[in-house]
């Protein structure tokens, strides 16, 4: 009998790669999306995938979905993204990123406590970190409504784990990229602009702080780590990251070099989008997941970016 996984945020980058990975490992996937009629699914004819509407504000309907499908695992990936608009709508951030997690936990606690739950958390829970690299015990002090909503969800994951004996855990995700990364993220902004410059469509790229340091990894590898978390003997929270630091300037260098261009001739620092460099860099310490789940990334950030550039070139 196939294992059944319910994935919220099914249409996003992580949902796509996680679905592909689980299907290849013999799962049936229930893909839950908001505004189902707005999406065209490339794998909609796959007999191992059912796509459903995700009523994240409705406890009764969430109960019905979990009761009807009775999944072995739930991967809650649905969230407002952590791009530049992290405070654009704090109420909706709280509804989708926080309260919908409580609704899932509550439904599982009443319907079937054997269902395992993974919550996709974020490095934004650390806000302005007081140390680097960050580990699972680093002080959490979010600086925007997105980070605050993610931290609330993490706290409730632990509350239900401890008090209701649920197999619930949070994956604290650092930046992770792929050709399916959305356009508002800095990697895609740089790549799409660089390709347009190469084609003579635009002449310059305006970007924020070139010295900003982040930890970037591969979405394809991060979803494997998420799956491993639900196969562990006991539920725990883990940082999922590359453990390596790169600047926005590094991204420009790699992308433009792959296109046989010198980024210094085209990239302009844009004060409108300028973010100060944090006193401590947002870099993930992956010692725990390496030791306990034997997971570590193998794809270099340069290769991730080159794949993304080639995909953009192939789009024509």
Catalytic, 124? Answer yes
The residue annotated as part of the active site, out of 146, 160, 174, 263, is: 146
Catalytic, 218? Answer no
User: What does the alpha-carbon distance between residue 189 and residue 172 come to, in Å, rounded to a whole number?
Assistant: 24
Reduced to 3 states (helix: H, G, I; strand: E, B; else coil), residue 167 is strand
Dihedral sign, Cα of residue 86, residue 33, residue 117, residue 289: negative
Q: What does the DSSP 8-state code read for residue 256?
A: H
Q: Which runs of consecutive H residues, i.e. helices, occur in 116-175?
A: 145-163
Distances (CA, A) of 260 to 25, 85, 181, 203: 40, 33, 23, 15
Beta pairing partners, 230: none
Catalytic, 122? Answer yes
User: What does 3-45 look like in DSSP terms, one character per residue?
Assistant: EEEEEETTTSHHHHHHHHHHHHTTEEEEEEESSGGG---TTTT
User: What does the alpha-carbon distance between residue 38 and residue 93 come to, in Å, rounded to a whole number?
Assistant: 21
The residue annotated as part of the active site, out of 122, 145, 178, 218, is: 122
The residue annotated as part of the active site, out of 124, 177, 221, 253, is: 124
Residues carrying an active site annotation = 122, 124, 146
């Amino acid at each position: 009998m196939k294992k059944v996984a319910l994935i919220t945020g099914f249409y996003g980058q992580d949902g796509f790669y996680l679905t592909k990975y689980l299907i290849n490992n013999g799962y049936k996937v229930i893909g839950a999306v908001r505004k189902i009629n707005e999406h065209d699914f490339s794998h909609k004819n796959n007999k191992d995938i059912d796509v459903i509407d995700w009523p994240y504000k409705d406890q009764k309907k969430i109960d019905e979905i979990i009761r009807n499908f009775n999944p072995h695992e739930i991967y809650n990936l649905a969230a407002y993204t952590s791009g530049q608009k992290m405070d654009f709508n704090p109420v909706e951030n709280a509804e989708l990123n926080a309260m919908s997690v409580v609704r899932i936990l509550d439904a599982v606690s009443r319907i079937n406590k054997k269902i395992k739950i993974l919550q996709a958390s974020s490095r934004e829970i650390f806000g302005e970190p007081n140390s680097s690299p960050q580990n699972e015990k680093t002080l959490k002090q979010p600086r925007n409504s997105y980070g605050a909503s993610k931290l609330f969800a993490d706290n409730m994951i632990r509350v239900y784990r401890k008090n209701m004996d649920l197999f619930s855990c949070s994956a604290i995700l650092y930046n992770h990229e792929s050709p399916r990364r959305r356009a508002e993220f800095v990697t895609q902004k740089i790549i799409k602009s660089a390709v347009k410059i190469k084609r003579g469509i635009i002449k310059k790229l305006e970007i924020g702080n070139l010295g900003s340091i982040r930890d970037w990894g591969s979405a394809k590898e991060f979803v494997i780590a998420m799956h491993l978390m639900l196969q562990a003997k006991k539920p725990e929270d883990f940082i999922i990251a590359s453990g390596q630091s790169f600047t926005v300037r590094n991204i420009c260098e790699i992308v433009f070099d792959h296109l046989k261009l010198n980024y210094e001739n085209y990239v302009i620092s844009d004060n409108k989008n300028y973010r100060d460099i944090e006193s401590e860099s947002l870099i993930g310490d992956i010692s725990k997941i390496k030791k306990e789940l034997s997971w570590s990334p193998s794809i270099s950030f340069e290769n991730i970016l080159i794949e993304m550039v080639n995909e953009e070139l192939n789009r024509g």
